[in-house]
Amino acid sequence: MIKLSPSILSADFANLGQDVKRIDVGGCDWIHVDVMDGIFVPNISFGMPVIKAIRSYTSKFFDVHLMIKEPIRYIKEFKAAGADLLTIHVEACENVKETIDEIKKQGMKVGLAINPETKAEEVFQYINDVDMVLVMTVHPGFGGQSYIDDCTDKVKVIREKANSENKDLLIQVDGGITTANVETSIKAGANVIVAGSAVYKGDVEGNIKNFKEIFENVK
Q: Which residues are catalytic?
A: 34, 174
Distance CA 8, CA 177 (A): 14
State the number of CA atoms in the 13 A half-sphere of 164 facing the CB.
Answer: 8
**172, 192 Cβ separation under 8 angstroms:** yes
Distance CA 41, CA 12 (A): 21
**78, 86 Cβ separation under 8 angstroms:** yes
Per DSSP, the residues of 31-66 read EEEEEEBSSSSS-B---HHHHHHHHTT--SEEEEEE
Dihedral (C-alpha) 33, 38, 44, 47: value to the nearest 10 degrees?
A: 50
Helix or strand holding residue 13 (H, E): none
